[in-house]
Amino acid sequence: MTEERIIPAGEKQEWVFIDEPTLDLHVCQQAGSSLRIILINLSSATNILHIDHTAPNCHTEIYALAFLHGTDSVSTHTRMHHDKGEGVSEQVIKFVLDDESKGAFVGELKIKPDAQQVDARQTNRNLLLSDLATMRTQPQLEIYADDVKASHGATTGQLDESALFYMRQRGIAPETGRKMLLRAFMDDIVDRVQDDDQHQRLVEAIDRVLQ
């Protein structure tokens, strides 16, 4: 069941979802509202986030991280619809996939004819830690307005071997170096959680998985 939510005009909200197995949200943002969603998955999940900018001047940030092991899989589907102009959206979606885990990201970004002067950014970065892990990524941009900025980028790769060697040359064990690089990759999302307790719990949960 899709859950409908409204962000009233001028309001600012932050939602943090940690390890929810299913998320299916349809959010209507009213004029001048701001929404920040932080989405963390450490086990299998399906996420659908549909955001409509139904009025001008809305602001949306979506930061998502999935860090998976075993045969877990996470599918994240964002539908970012700019119906009206002067809005901003930023999406940073990251997957770290170990063992035989699977990730999928569909990023639908629609900028409708009325939505002039929109600034929309979508970034998807994925790390594969094993040969058997797989990632599918599918950005879908539909842009019908002519005075907008829209960017997207998707990369999938492995941990940087030259960085690992540099660390080893300074005496850092490869396992320690690998953890430092992984934590650096994930901190970019994790550190956006502003509530201290929540942040602490999340850091501990990720540490447990890293061990």
Partner 1 sequence: MNTLLQITDLHASIGGKEILKGINLTINAGEVHAIMGRNGAGKSTLSAVLTGNDKYEVTAGSVLLNGKDLLAMPAEIRAREGVFLSFQYPVEIPGVSMVNFMRTAVNEKRQYEGKEPLSATAFLKLMREKKAGLDMADKLNNRSVNEGFSGGEKKKNEIFQMAMLEPCLSILDETDSGLDIDALRVVADGVNRLKTPHNASIVITHYQRLLDYIVPDFVHVLEDGRIVKTGGKELALELEQSGYAQFE
Q: Which residues bind partner 1 (CB under 8 A)?
A: 160, 162-163, 165-174, 176, 180-181, 183-185, 187-188
Give me the sheet containing 34-41, strands edge to edge.
12-18, 34-41, 59-68, 88-97, 119-128, 149-157
Alpha carbon distance 98, 68 (integer Å):
6
Q: Would you say 22 or 200 has its CB closer to partner 1?
A: 200
For 77-94, give the DSSP string: EEEEEE-SSS-EEEEEEE
Give me the sheet containing 102-111, strands edge to edge.
3-7, 22-29, 45-53, 73-82, 102-111, 134-143
Q: Would you say 132 or 184 has its CB closer to partner 1?
A: 184
Q: Would you say 145 or 164 has its CB closer to partner 1?
A: 164
Minimum distance from CB of 80 to partner 1 (Å)? 26
Minimum distance from CB of 167 to partner 1 (Å)? 7
Q: Would you say 187 or 195 has its CB closer to partner 1?
A: 187
Q: In sequence order, what are the beta bridge partners of 13?
A: 35
Minimum distance from CB of 177 to partner 1 (Å)? 8
Minimum distance from CB of 64 to partner 1 (Å)? 17
